[in-house]
């Protein structure tokens, strides 16, 4: 049996690595790996492969950045001949990036079975491109691997056959559990002992100049009481450069280049709190027990709110200082264990794939 994995952006790498490892130990399965090149610079791609001990991709489509439609179309055009040549028995796609949906569409039209790892997540906000990717991928997939009960419920509500749904847990937590011991001591040098960690990349927060200027001003205000460590995503750095914000206005905001996975785990584990608009970081902070303040109006990971450390602050940035004050004062919720977030989700995926009756 030939299983072909498709990854494109760095969140995919953390999800695919444990599945690749679990299937490597499964008799009768051979694997290949396609990297679409959606994240293409070394800081966002190559170093993650190294730290996650992933094999080098068998194929790199080298797509690069473009508009949503252009990038999706280019992935489809370059991926179709790979599928036709390699003729996999199953294609696994991960998460909710453009590469995920594009690969699923290609496989559906070529009648190649698709498995979606991290299926069923819903923000119910169709202004987010990721939500469109999730909806389409889940309707096309033959195997839907969900991380939590809400994923199962969403899929059933949308008419997905229950026998296609397999709740396996969270593969991102698999990577975190395995690599957290190696993150000790990997925090970048020269940073304060006590800090808040910030990540921002969503267009709704960084693409509108005045909103980004307002957000940077709020972070600067917060930094008077808690220094800020801010590894800056390439698209965010580009938007910030266009604003020409004086460096003196952010003296206690430490701007970093994107950091590799182990270094970022160390930063998360050591943070007093995390301010983010990322999805995966909501999950990681919940597992680590670190307060998470999410700058979005909704989340596709509600279990991180109901059972974790995540609070949806919204996009009214004036609410952020009060939320920071609550977290620093210890007025924050204590997470409870989430079923199947135990570091063994990939093993459960491998067991389903190895069962010929599963699809």
* Catalytic-labelled residue, pool 2, 166, 201, 254: 201
CA–CA dist 335, 282 (Å, integer): 12
35 catalytically annotated: no
Find, among 33, 157, 24, the residue nearest to 94 by Cα: 33
φ, ψ dihedrals at 199, nearest 5°? -135, 135
Q: What are all long-range contacts of 15-18, with beta carbons under 8 Å and residues at least 24 apart?
A: 15/94, 15/95, 15/117, 15/118, 15/171, 15/172, 15/175, 16/54, 16/92, 16/94, 16/117, 16/171, 17/52, 17/53, 17/54, 17/175, 18/171, 18/174, 18/175, 18/178, 18/345, 18/346
List, by residue number, the catalytic residues: 201
């Amino acid at each position: 049996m030939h299983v072909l994995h498709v990854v494109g952006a760095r969140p995919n790498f953390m999800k695919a690595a444990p599945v690749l490892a679990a299937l490597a130990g499964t008799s009768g399965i051979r694997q290949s790996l396609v990297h679409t090149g959606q994240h293409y610079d070394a800081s966002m791609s190559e170093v993650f492969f190294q730290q996650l001990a992933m094999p080098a991709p068998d194929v790199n489509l080298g797509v690069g950045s473009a508009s949503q439609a252009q990038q999706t179309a280019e992935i489809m055009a370059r991926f179709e001949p790979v599928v036709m040549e390699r003729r996999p028995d199953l294609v696994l796609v991960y998460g909710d990036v453009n590469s995920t949906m594009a690969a699923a569409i290609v496989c559906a039209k070529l009648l190649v079975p698709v498995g979606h790892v991290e299926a069923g997540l819903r923000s119910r906000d169709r202004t987010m491109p990721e939500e469109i990717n999730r909806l389409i991928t889940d309707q096309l997939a033959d195997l839907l691997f969900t991380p939590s009960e809400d994923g199962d419920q969403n899929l059933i509500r949308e008419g997905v056959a229950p026998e296609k749904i397999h709740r396996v847990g969270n593969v991102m937590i698999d990577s975190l559990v395995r690599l957290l011991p190696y993150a000790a001591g990997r925090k970048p040098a020269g940073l304060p002992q006590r800090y808040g960690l910030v990540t921002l990349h969503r267009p709704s927060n960084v693409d509108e100049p005045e909103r980004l200027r307002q957000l940077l001003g709020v972070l600067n205000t917060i930094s008077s009481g808690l220094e800020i460590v801010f590894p800056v995503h390439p698209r965010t750095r580009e938007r910030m450069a266009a604003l020409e914000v004086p460096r003196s206005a952010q003296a206690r905001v430490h701007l970093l280049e994107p950091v590799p996975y182990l270094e970022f785990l160390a930063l998360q584990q050591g943070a007093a709190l995390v301010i983010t608009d990322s999805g995966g970081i909501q999950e990681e902070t919940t597992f680590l027990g670190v307060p998470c303040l999410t700058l979005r109006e909704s989340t596709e990971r509600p279990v991180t709110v109901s059972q974790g450390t995540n609070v949806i602050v919204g996009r009214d940035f004036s609410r952020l200082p009060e939320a920071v004050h609550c977290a620093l004062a210890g007025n924050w919720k204590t997470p409870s264990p989430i079923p199947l977030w135990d570091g063994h989700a990939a093993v459960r995926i491998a067991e389903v794939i190895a069962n010929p009756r599963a699809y």
